[in-house]
Amino acid sequence: MKFTVKVWRQKNAKAKGRFETYHIDGISPDTSFLEMLDILNNKLIREGKEPFAFDHDCREGICGMCSLYINGRPHGPDDEITTCQLHCRKFKDGDTITVEPWRSAAFPVVKDLVVDRNAFDKILQAGGFISTTGIAPDANLIQISKKDADEAMDASACIGCGACVATCKNGSAMLFVAARVSALAKLPQGRPEAARRAKAMVAKMDELGFGACSNTGACEAECPKGVSIAHIARLNREFLLAKLQD
């Protein structure tokens, strides 16, 4: 297969970016998208050109590092996958592929296709944890209903890749925050700090410049793990209950 690849090049967050167009051929349909980018970068190196930067780590759909905006979709033209799980067979021979970084004020560009997603870490530090770890009763001794356990596991599937932010017209992080809050809210261990957690994480999200949620559902549609927007409703309930307790 052969492709024309338009890659976003940008030196840093303050520099003006631009698209550069490259051509590549001899790609197997079974080649993963990241492997194709590796091959393209090796080609640039052989030609004496600077390779472009992009994030990756596990390449198993677990870490969320491989976050790219491909042909107008987070993680590319497939459903419930990360970029590393995308294969070239999803494109047609001769296609033009446009590759961009996440577009969000809260995720400034580090270089080329790499963005700084430390904003998510700051939200987690604000409240996405249980402070009683080590002194609470053994979790194995606490009975939890199957329904609650399933909902907590669904929320815990979030890998923090940022696709929800990238696809939201407002750049909202509500699905990410809701998943973290919901994962703990459905478990007994998370209830003692539920009110503080909801308020702290929402406040930090707003402080960091994420947009408001207008409930279009785009975040759920593009989430590589299929996390439901039902968790956003639970976050709203948790937040309102916390405010009533003030």
User: pLDDT tens digits for 118-137?
Assistant: 999 999 999 888 876 666 56
Domain with CATH 1.10.1060.10 in the chain: 117-244
The answer, yes or no, to whether residue 8 has pLDDT greater than 80, is yes
**Contact predicate 118/173, CB 8 Å:** no
pLDDT of 138 above 80: no
pLDDT of residue 133: 61
Q: Tell me what the mean pLDDT of segment 84-97 comes to.
A: 98
Looking at every residue in the chain, the average pLDDT score rounds to 93
pLDDT at 206: 95
Q: What is the mean pLDDT of residues 66-89?
A: 97
Span(s) in the chain for CATH 3.10.20.30 = 3-111
Least confident of 81-90, 161-170, 182-191: 182-191
Provide the phi-psi class of 160: left if phi over 0, else alpha when psi is between -120 and 50, else beta: left
pLDDT in tens, 219-239: 999 999 999 999 999 999 999
Which token pair is 49?
């050109």
With 0.75 as the threshold, say if the pTM is over it.
yes
Q: How many CB atoms lie within 10 A of CB 105?
A: 12
Looking at CATH, the fold of the domain delimited by 3-111 is given as: Ubiquitin-like (UB roll) (3.10.20)
What is the third-level CATH fold of 117-244? Fumarate Reductase Iron-sulfur Protein; Chain B, domain 2 (1.10.1060)
Higher pLDDT, 168 or 138: 168
Average pLDDT over residues 216-220: 96
pLDDT per residue over 19-58, tens digit each?
999 999 999 999 999 999 999 999 999 999 999 999 999 9
What whole-number distance in Å separates Cα of residue 105 and Cα of residue 246? 31
Six token digits for residue 18: 């631009």
Distance CA 115, CA 96 (A): 23
Predicted local distance difference test score (pLDDT) of residue 86: 98
